[in-house]
Structure 1
Amino acid sequence: MSSIGIDDRWIPSQCYMCIHGCGILAHVVNGVLVKIEGNPDDPDNMGKLCAKGNAGIMKLYDQSRFKQPLVRVNKQKGRGVRPEWEKVSWNEALGIVEDELGKIRRKDPRKLVTSIAEFQRMWCWGWPLAYGTPNYFTAHGTYCGSAYHPVNAMTDGSFATFPDLNYCNYLIMMGASDGFEAHLHLSGSAKRMADARRRGMKLVVVDPRLSVAAAKADEWVPIIPGTDGAFALGMMYVLMVELDKYDRDFLKNNTNAPCLVGPDGLFVRDRNTKKPYVWDLADNTAKPYDDPTLVEPALKGEYSVGTPAFQLLLDEVMKWTPEKVSKITDVPSKTIRRIAREYVDAAQIGATIKINGREYPLRPACVQYYRGAQSHKHGILDNMALKLINTVIGNIDVPGGHLGVPVYGQLAIWPGEDGMHHGMPINPIEKWQFEPRFPPDSTHLIEFVPVGQGHFGGGHISALTVLEPQKYMLNYDPEALFILHCNAPYNMPETRRVLKAMEKFRFIVAIDVYPSEASDYADVILPDHTYLESWSMCESEAPFVIGPGFRQPVVKPLYDTRDATDICTELADRLEFLDRWNNVLNHFFELYKKPEYMLEPDKKYGIEEILDRYFRANFGDEWTLERVREKGHMVRLRTPEELYLPYGRLRIPVYYEFMQSVKYKMERFFAETGLKWDLSDFRPIPTWLESPIHRDSEYALYAINYKSALHAFSDSTANPWLREIMLRHPEIPYVLIHSETAKKLGLRDGEKVRITSRFGEGEATIKTTEGIHPSVVAMTNMGHWCQHPIAGSAGGINHNIFLSAGLDYTDMATGVFETAAKVNIGRA
């Protein structure tokens, strides 16, 4: 209270202008939000806040928000068709949804398809399962992480990765922009990245486009899209074959590299303990990997009982000379050799460091990668190669190296039956479990895509199966779509096919804040609060910190809206599965830790009470909601013991035996059913395989999209402050093309062009630049057509119209789809 009659407050909360949730302080004067700043007390973002976070105020005061429940009047649906909404009461709107979804649930709950992208209320992903449907209709997660997350989990139980900027001296970034434009916790990561570069860390960026990271790097290496996995294999060739430099001690003692593999591709194991054998060179005999008499486990050679896993990796790496890789990637072989040498020299193999009295290996070199490097047709293999270029120098979860990042809490590490790290994929909710099934239950065919479990399977496949369920072996016909903060028509590949699927749904309900391409198709709108009016807690992929951020209302709800969790609870009650929904909440919030805080099966709970129970059950009885509200967050820095070597004595994989085991299971399944399925991605060691885009000679240029610090997913383009910055940006409104390429095509800077692929076409304005590979064009989050006046009028083009949703462009192990396209460009 600054003076009499003026209520002037700074209220701590959590940002939701991207999924990661920086700590914020909201300045509220007499009930009006006037400013948002970063919270300096939050060790995650340390008081820093990106443009999106600063612009959050305009989300709250957006005049195009859904202000009350709405029912569609115009029964016609299609791109550009206005819904013509009628205002109704909450009871009337909920009654319509209850009637429609109730009929479906009684008949066959699988006929409901769901489209959910609520990353700060991840418990809502469990609502469809409680309802009784496995179906997801969205590319969220699939687009970036459907192959990335499982390989991380198989390696060290992580969900994401990040370079240890505390000690890293040499960082190679491939298809990523951590600490510059996007990905994990941008505000805090930008500060940590700047500090590392100021300290002297060398940065090499491998990317088709001169990104912000590349512009600030010591070196930019342009590359052909979708060939990063080959680049990693070429680097490994230099390390393992030409230089013979890799971390032998780490590989022998901390990985399965010395474990013997039989002719069937599986480890040779002790019959009783299931522990893999290694070959002891000292005694010239096979022993279990943890035998106390083991002296010198072999990494190379072939022996009577099997071949060391490292030798099999070496055999594959021998195929990928820098000269061969250069022809694939368009990176000169001398550059590959030089970067590989610099990288391994910087790793200081054998060095150690003492932190808080404990000695750790020091490996201050790292290859960091994300969507651009690995979200491609053979994404699982790309991820394995990119992971192993880190593993062979011994930098996994050690100071200076390649750190695993959990989705929340600690890494999902536990021993498998052989005493090593379990080596399986995970999803954010539960341990991995998979059995193929025919006919499949799900529209996204997760029963046939074993590694991409949970929400991160091939959600884009649903666009195919919704339109032609019989062709894809479904024994039911999807009828309705449940949307929660998700914009599938904009985020899924092959837009024209997705729009046809949207038109086929007989009934659509959307829980959202304002209009989007998805909600334009809805029959009923159930309006959610904005993040500045609601409660939540979120811990999402946070490097260096642990503990949930905390969201609380900074102003009272401006309109007749409700909290999305409370809406889900109300619908669960009306549709008679409240007990199942409460069980989901008990599981997600881990209320079973203190049974007295568990939700009763037949009682409705508001989000405030659920959060109060969560904090008491997980942090102690004294941590009431009111106390957490005053503190503002529960975030702290991870200790060195939590950050480094979290797997302890559990060995992590060099050889991904899990993939071989699952391949056998899939082969048996498809032999029994007579179905044809592509199993080429099921391999225990990586290789590089061409994507269809690399074979498509009818189209001249590769098309990629990139992330900007101004936007996250498709949501933020509706923000007028961000739109103003975006339209003044020298690159974002345009399609980037190399100056010489444009000249050869007879095109000029600023000219309007028509871009075509096999799957779509559109018009855009080009920007000529030297900062892109000559064979590539690039675009970012633009091209909206929804009824929102800001997003729908910003112009530009949506990259997804050029992509394919087809199975021949999909990694059949994980469900990730090819995120680059081949296109032709001509004058419009």
Structure 2
Amino acid sequence: MDETTLKIERRDFLKLLAGAASGMMLSGYAFNKLAPVSQAYTDWPERIERWIPSVCLQCSGGCGLMARVVDGNVVKLEGNPLHPVNRGRLCPLGHAGLQLVYNPDRIKMPMKRVGRKGSTQWVSISWDEAIDLLAERLGELRERGQPHSLIVFDGRPTGLMGALWERFCHAFGTPNHLSADEPDGMRIAHRLMQGLDQLFGYDLENANYILSFGCQLLDGWRSPVQLARTYGYLRQERPGPRAKFVQIERRLSPTAARSDEWIPIRPGTEGALALGIAYVLIREELYDRQFVEQHTFGFDDWTDARGQRHKGFRRLVLETYRPENVSAITGVPVDTLIRIAKQFASTRPAVAIGSAEATLHSNGAFNALAIHALNALVGNIDLPGGVLIGEEIPFKRWPPIKSDAVAQEGRRRPRLDRAEADAPWLDALPLEALGERILSGTPYEVQAVFLYESNPVFSTPATARFAEALEHVPLVVSFASFMDESTAYADLILPDHTYLEKWQDGPAPPLSGVPTLGVTQPVIQPLYETKHTGDVILALARRMGGTLADAFPWADFKEVLMFSVRGCYEVRYGRVFSEPFEGAFVRQLQERGWWIPQFSSFEAFWKDLVKKGGWSGLFHEYGKWGHIFQTPSRKFEFYSQRLKAELEARAKRRGQPLEALLEELNITARGDDVFLPHYEPAQFAGDESKYPFHLNPFHVLVLNSGSSANLPWMQEIVGLHVHVKWDSWLEIHPETAQKLGIADGDWVWVESPYGKVRVRAKLYPGTMPEVVNIPIGLGHTASGRWASGRGVNPYALIGPAADRLGGLPARYATRVKISKA
């Protein structure tokens, strides 16, 4: 202690404190400043606080939320405890909804281009002017007999907004309501093996063995919070034996890290592994013989009506997919393959699930067929713990459309994404191929493009070509809330509300097999001069008049919603959201055929629906065989008669032998093998000697494929496992990095036959030595101040390869080389 330090004893300090208090009392100062407690409270400003239920639309998960609104401002978002999807939980994206609605980079009013496309020269216009202008331009298309030349790219094609866009296209006269969402290749298998062109659900909560081919259950697949809750239930809450979860993929993802077993696999060989597992099930007679005999077609050799003999699935598998052969293809050890197969057969109910990582390859459709075949082998289709074919939400049917002659003629024209008779493609073309079609004028010149919840210039390979395509179109209209890469090429911007400012339906994805509808309602008044896109569609139809106006009898989208959910009120099942115990009691009654009306009028139903947040069908009815098998045989088809018929019809239209068509489709199998689940060798862009590494672009929950990159909270947590934020990174195996002389954090060049990017390398033991990983969602050149100029876009490295059979983009079919920058 130095000489300037004040020294004071405890007794002296107390004397000083007492003297100070006495002085204040004698002066009256303390009494003058004190006020009654009641008076102090009256000085506080009065605040109005409410908790309003709604639905998060950051992704397709359909989570219910509760918005805390104070004086008209939303200040916090939490999960709705009544919503069966998330039961009060939210993921980071859900909480970041505040940064979406209050984002300073939102487009605040309608704007019209006055400069060249791609420039930043805009003028603000009124909504009346915008709708007048759009109605005039679209009216000219109809007058010229070209309504088919309007293309609607819809990034959220489900629910009522998807139905409203489809209705507008129908009444206007265009067949081109096109999905801009990433496809799920398993849908191909559902269509060819069960005759149902839809996504199926999976009863994971009741499964004892989950064999996942790349499904990111804990990193954004389908419904992130619901799947996280399911994982927690399987791990800690479910009574009885613990379920086993096996993850098959080429990267140690958050899902793989929390699985019971991670099985690394060479890219594009997932179908071969599934067939190797099928070999063990069949060879050792571990499959469900009763189900296979009663409910499947083409398992054994069979004879058609003409007396021709055909190969069955059993013979194909036993002849071709011995474990040692499959191990050589996949890199999975023989003993691992056999062990997994026996566990899958003996730990029932067991379910095999697949996703983009297994199906977005040049052989994706056949990979999907092989994976789904495993579910039939163990007889776990539409049973507890298995694959579920869910019911649609029982919306009230809309009035039929009375189309005029112009619309009828326009809808007879081919869709832009459908292959013509002179093209080998069997199914729809992938999104990136449509840019080339627009540029070439095939099958006709595109005169107008609408962009709804879609940003193809950012989210497709060969981004420059899609930008060029939009420059080529005379009229591009964007309904985006932010100036993203595609909106920069628009001629007219009609900005939508954020989901916290509007009415909308929020259907849960098909996961549990139970139809679940959340209701999105405005928790605050719109902050800017934006407008619900549904209201824009209705106003545009009214302005154009005629049969187009007649097709839309509703004043606004809220009326559309109320009209539609009347169907949920009228059906004799389901219930408005409630506490879990109450819902379980009602579900048991309804499963036994009891129905207790809950409301005396639709108005009472609607009021409670909005108050609680939505409606649920409560239970899934199992074993509706007539519904779940709509194939020619009315059974699950190992031998797909639909695929055979479609291929033969396509070859006939093109006037060529079937073998010539198969060659153009890059299918190497011949004979009956073509129509059975089999392994087609995956094709990759880039010679292996020059480009030795497989590029694995992977999704990150918090980036939502790029649409959430302008949310600062998400940028802060984008790469926690490698200690990276606000930037991209390249995951490379330490041994591979050592051979290349690359240290952790070094800048490297990643080059493919299509492009080159510069990014930091992060040494990550959770990747395979021959694979490198880059996250999807960064690398924006627009989309706001917190997104633009941060990281790299892996689509700059990916070419236009695709699975020509299923129309699936081959996102994982690119090889790259790595060098120090």
Decide: shared fold, TM above 0.5: yes
Aligned-residue offset at 1:394: 0.9
Contact 1:408 1:541 survives alignment (8 Å): no
Aligned-residue offset at 1:804: 2.0
Contact 1:755 1:824 survives alignment (8 Å): yes
Q: Which residue of 1 aligns with 2:265?
A: 223
Q: Which residue of 2 aligns with 1:822?
A: 815
Q: Which residue of 2 aligns with 1:92?
A: 129
Count of residues in correspondence between the two structures: 708
Cα distance change, pair 735–490 in 1 and its aligned pair in 2 (3 A): same
Matches within 5 A, 1:25-424: 25-77=66-118, 82-107=119-144, 108-119=146-157, 120=159, 121-126=161-166, 127-135=168-176, 139-141=180-182, 144-145=183-184, 147-156=185-194, 157=196, 159-178=198-217, 180-198=218-236, 199=238, 200-241=242-283, 243-257=284-298, 261-262=302-303, 267-268=304-305, 305=307, 307=309, 311-347=312-348, 364-405=349-390, 408=393
Cα distance in structure 2, aligned partners of 1:494 and 1:542: 32
State which of 462, 474, 483 in structure 1 corresponds to 2:434.
Answer: 462
State which of 504, 520, 530 in structure 1 corresponds to 2:472.
Answer: 504
Cα distance in structure 2, aligned partners of 1:28 and 1:240: 60
Cα distance change, pair 346–268 in 1 and its aligned pair in 2 (3 A): farther
Cα distance in structure 2, aligned partners of 1:317 and 1:442: 42
Cα distance change, pair 782–632 in 1 and its aligned pair in 2 (3 A): closer
Any idea what the Cα deviations from partners look like across 1:528-563, whole Å, max 9, x if unmatched?
111111111132423223231111111111111111
What SS does the corresponding residue of 2:454 show, helix, strand or coil?
coil
Cα distance in structure 1, aligned partners of 2:797 and 2:454: 20
Matches within 5 A, 1:306-705: 307=309, 311-347=312-348, 364-405=349-390, 408=393, 441-447=414-420, 457-469=429-441, 473-474=442-443, 476-544=444-512, 545-576=514-545, 579-580=547-548, 601=551, 603=553, 605-620=555-570, 622-624=601-603, 625-639=606-620, 641=622, 647=628, 651-671=635-655, 678-679=664-665, 683-693=674-684, 696-697=687-688, 698-705=690-697
Q: Which residue of 1 aligns with 2:699?
A: 707
State which of 727, 735, 738 in structure 2 corresponds to 1:740.
Answer: 735
Aligned-residue offset at 1:94: 2.2
Cα distance change, pair 639–134 in 1 and its aligned pair in 2 (3 A): closer
Any idea what the Cα deviations from partners look like across 1:467-507, whole Å, max 9, x if unmatched?
223xxx52x22233211121111111222322222332232
Structure label with greater radius of gyration: 2
Contact 1:731 1:767 survives alignment (8 Å): no
What SS does the corresponding residue of 1:778 show, helix, strand or coil?
strand
What SS does the corresponding residue of 2:469 show, helix, strand or coil?
helix
Contact 1:723 1:790 survives alignment (8 Å): no
Unaligned segments of structure 1, at least 5 residues: 270-304, 348-363, 411-436, 583-599
What SS does the corresponding residue of 1:634 show, helix, strand or coil?
strand
What SS does the corresponding residue of 1:338 show, helix, strand or coil?
helix
Cα distance change, pair 764–130 in 1 and its aligned pair in 2 (3 A): farther
Stretch moving more, 731-740 or 788-797: 788-797
Contact 1:139 1:491 survives alignment (8 Å): no
Cα distance in structure 1, aligned partners of 2:178 and 2:779: 19
Cα distance in structure 2, aligned partners of 1:643 and 1:696: 49
Q: Which amino acid aligns with 1:707?
A: H
Q: Which amino acid aligns with 1:656?
A: S
Q: Which amino acid aligns with 1:558?
A: L
What SS does the corresponding residue of 1:613 show, helix, strand or coil?
helix
What SS does the corresponding residue of 1:28 show, helix, strand or coil?
strand
Any idea what the Cα deviations from partners look like across 1:284-341, whole Å, max 9, x if unmatched?
xxxxxxxxxxxxxxxxxxxxx46577x3443245211222222221212222122112
What SS does the corresponding residue of 2:809 show, helix, strand or coil?
coil
Cα distance change, pair 17–642 in 1 and its aligned pair in 2 (3 A): farther
Aligned-residue offset at 1:819: 1.1
The alignment-based identity, stated in percent, is 28
**Aligned pair 1:763/2:749, yes or no?**
no
Q: Which amino acid aligns with 2:354?
A: Y
Cα distance in structure 1, aligned partners of 2:471 and 2:275: 45
Cα distance in structure 2, aligned partners of 1:827 and 1:576: 62
Contact 2:64 2:86 survives alignment (8 Å): yes
Contact 1:397 1:646 survives alignment (8 Å): no
Cα distance change, pair 155–37 in 1 and its aligned pair in 2 (3 A): farther
**Aligned pair 1:753/2:748, yes or no?**
yes
What SS does the corresponding residue of 2:59 show, helix, strand or coil?
coil
Aligned-residue offset at 1:110: 3.0
Aligned-residue offset at 1:4: 9.2
Contact 2:651 2:657 survives alignment (8 Å): no
What SS does the corresponding residue of 1:203 show, helix, strand or coil?
strand
Unaligned segments of structure 2, at least 5 residues: 1-41, 396-409, 571-599
Cα distance in structure 1, aligned partners of 2:102 and 2:712: 11
Cα distance change, pair 314–139 in 1 and its aligned pair in 2 (3 A): farther
Any idea what the Cα deviations from partners look like across 1:338-373, whole Å, max 9, x if unmatched?
2112211213xxxxxxxxxxxxxxxx2122211101
Cα distance change, pair 465–742 in 1 and its aligned pair in 2 (3 A): same
Cα distance in structure 2, aligned partners of 1:66 and 1:190: 34
Q: Which amino acid aligns with 1:696?
A: D
State which of 62, 66, 72 in structure 2 corresponds to 1:21.
Answer: 62
State which of 718, 721, 725 in structure 1 corresponds to 2:713.
Answer: 721
Q: TM-score, length-normalised on structure 2?
A: 0.80
